[in-house]
């Protein structure tokens, strides 16, 4: 494999399919690399933050130690980035990395992830996680656009196991009085649509403490303001005809290129998303 015309000697890159230029590669064995909790916008007081943002949990480093199997570690090391909800149905944890682009082109987000509920009960718990997903938050001169994808694992205790996308968010609300700050909760449970042909079973091992890593890849076109394709393991989905969240550009967000992962509990049991490594690349 080559990157920018030279051989990539780092074996960790060989499991990815980057475009011509790697913007960043984060292996969490040596830290969180700028991934942080998603904080809601506020002005003048933290009380001005929209309620859904007030209790999102920050990411942490984890060796995925389990009470019966020992330490899982990550794909090829010790630590992954772990998102953990509170033990409350519908609660979410979100990790975001804030970045900017320098050339308009295709941008690709790749990662290896594993999702499980907290192994505090002697049963499989395969319906305890409601959903997990990934997203871009991007802006060009014409629009701010936000490709969102989530895997709806279960709903109301019943299996769904389908990929979903969304094209809208709740109305943006003004925060404070300066006119510079607004907010909307774009991960709200309403508004998700099933991806056409998006039914996909994921590997979920026979014990609540076993992890299996899955490959995710999302492509977006910065110039056109669209997403183009999504892949999970052996399945590739064409997104080019689908709508996405699109709003007027924000004056303070030129060249925005943010990435995020999230997980949501399906019952009063903590839900965990482990992210082994992340690579973001572009074709220019």
Which regions of the chain are under pLDDT 50?
Answer: 1, 5-7
- Positive or negative CA dihedral for 238, 146, 111, 21? positive
pLDDT at position 91 is 95
pLDDT at position 182 is 81
pLDDT at position 9 is 67
* Domains of the chain as residue ranges with CATH: 25-282 (2.60.120.260)
pLDDT at position 8 is 53
pLDDT at position 171 is 82
Q: What is this structure's pTM?
A: 0.94
């Amino acid at each position: 494999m080559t990157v920018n015309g030279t051989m990539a000697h780092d074996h960790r890159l060989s499991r990815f399919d980057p475009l011509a230029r790697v913007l960043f590669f984060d292996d969490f064995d040596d830290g969180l690399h700028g991934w942080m909790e998603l904080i809601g916008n506020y002005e003048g007081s933290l009380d001005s933050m929209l309620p859904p943002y007030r209790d999102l949990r920050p990411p942490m480093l984890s060796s995925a130690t389990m009470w019966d199997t020992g330490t899982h570690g990550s794909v090829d090391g010790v630590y992954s980035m772990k998102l953990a909800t509170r033990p409350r149905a519908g609660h979410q944890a979100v990790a975001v990395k804030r970045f900017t682009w320098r050339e308009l082109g295709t941008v690709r987000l790749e990662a290896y992830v594993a999702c499980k509920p907290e192994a505090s009960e002697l049963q499989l718990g395969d319906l305890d996680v409601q959903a997990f997903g990934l997203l871009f938050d991007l802006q060009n001169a014409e629009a701010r656009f936000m490709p969102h994808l989530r895997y709806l694992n279960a709903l109301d205790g019943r299996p769904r196991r389908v990929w979903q996308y969304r094209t809208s968010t709740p109305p943006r609300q003004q925060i404070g009085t300066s006119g510079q700050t607004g907010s909307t909760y774009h991960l709200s449970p309403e508004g998700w649509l099933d991806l056409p042909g998006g039914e996909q079973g994921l590997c979920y091992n026979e014990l609540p403490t076993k992890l299996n890593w899955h490959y995710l890849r999302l492509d977006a076109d910065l110039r056109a303001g669209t997403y183009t394709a999504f892949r999970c393991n052996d399945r590739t989905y064409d997104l080019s005809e689908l709508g996405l969240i699109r709003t007027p550009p924000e004056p303070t967000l030129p060249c925005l290129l943010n990435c995020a992962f999230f997980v949501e509990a399906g019952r009063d049991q903590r839900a965990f998303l482990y992210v082994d490594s992340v690579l973001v690349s572009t074709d220019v």
